[in-house]
Amino acid sequence: MTISKYISFIAQTVVIGLAAAFLYILLVQPELLKQSGNIVEVTETPLHPEPTARPGAALGGVAIGPVSYADAVQRAAPAVVNVHTAKVITRRVHPLLDDPIFQRFFGDRFSQTRREIQTSLGSGVLISKQGYVLTNNHVIDGADEIKVLLADGRSAQAAVVGTDPDTDVAVLHIHVDNLPAIIIGNSQRLRVGDVALAIGNPFGVGQTVTFGIISATGRDHLGITAFEEFIQTDAAINPGNSGGALINASGELIGINSAIYSRSGGSQGIGFAIPINLAKDVMTQIIEQGLVVRGWLGIEAQDLTPALADSFGLPGTEGVLISGVLRNGPADNAGILPGDVVNSVNGTPVTDANQAMKLISKQKPDTLIELGGIRKGEPFSLKARVIQRPMQSEVNS
């Protein structure tokens, strides 16, 4: 072997040996690579690193929600108030005195009454810094005195600006300086699954926040109010929450808590709130006009069931059955008869009674509207002049 080949062989052997030693240290004893004054660290990089959740982050194109909604609550809570009401009621000293037999023999000679003050508690929302408060009509209905308690401890006597029993909305006004006001959202943009937080004063324990999601929108046929378009949520709503705020994850007002579905009187995960777009429209009309203006025809309508449609010889259940017509009312004067099936209002197809009433109510009084339908198997079309809808106490249609 020549000297050059010998040197080349030794060099190759040394290089291979150094490479083998480096690999051994790298894989088996990496801590030997740490040397004083010149530390080299080798860290393992996982193939699928765990994501770091943070507010507003996105993972795989899906937004990750915040770990806390404290900021949203902090923005909205100062504008949510407690509404205390009191009314004077008269009671007889003993219920036996109200007995018809007792009354027949003795009349009112032994009648004794006493006056009591009945109190109740609800919630409300400060809509503007001018002191307007949105709440439910049933919270203040019949009250002789209304007091509003703010979240910062201040209180004030409230005056009723106006009410709308048909949507269960009431507007109050207080005179207090430096009032907070809630940020109003858009209930038309709500989607099932959106986060919802209910703020109110359940059972009088103090301001409370509950958490849930939007379970459904546009709920009707509940028998709660005449015009129903409720937001359904599983955020816990209990007695005392009525009139309080339903807010989104940004702290914007999206609804006014109104009712619960419960067999026990407590929350069972089915609560209803008036959409803020509807409540805001009602509030604006009350403040500007003193009342809510709605069109009215004086009819009673019911949904068409398959059995009814078959009895009238109709191909489907589209339209509504006119089950009653108020004598000398707008519909009566226009020639609408009980038993007519109305399937369009101003050219808009009608699917159920609730939709028909909404379409009519949106018309301004003294407006002519065209009704299309079927009478005794024949199509008909006529025009009726709507009038201002009477108060709920005056009409049930």
Q: 316, 367, 379, 306: which is closest to 342 by C-alpha?
A: 379
Q: CA-CA distance, 111 to 102, in Å (whole number)?
A: 11
- Which residue out of 164, 166, 168, 234 is catalytically annotated? 168
- Which residue out of 120, 242, 258, 397 is catalytically annotated? 242
SS3 letters for the chain? CCHHHHHHHHHHHHHHHHHHHHHHHHHCCHHHHCECCECCCCCCCCCCCCCCCCCCCEECCEECCCCCCHHHHHHHHHHEEEEEEEEEEEEECCHHHHCHHHHHHHCCCCCCEEEEEEEEEEEEEECCCCCEEEEEHHHHCCCCEEEEECCCCCEEECEEEEEECCCCEEEEECCCCCCCCCEECCHHHCCCCCEEEEEECHHHCCCEEEEEEEEEEEECCCCCCCCCCEEEECCCCCCCCCCCEEECCCCEEEEEEEEECCCCCCCCCCEEEEEHHHHHHHHHHHHHHCCCCCEECCEEEEECCHHHHHHCCCCCCCCEEEEEECCCCHHHHHCCCCCCEEEEECCEECCCHHHHHHHHHCCCCCCEEEEEEEECCEEEEEEEECEECCCCCCCCC
- Which residue out of 84, 138, 215, 361 is catalytically annotated? 138
Residue that the structure tokens 């078959």 belong to: 310
Per the annotation, the verdict on 242 as an active-site residue is: yes
Q: 91, 44, 362: which is closest to 229 by C-alpha?
A: 362
Active site residues: 138, 168, 242
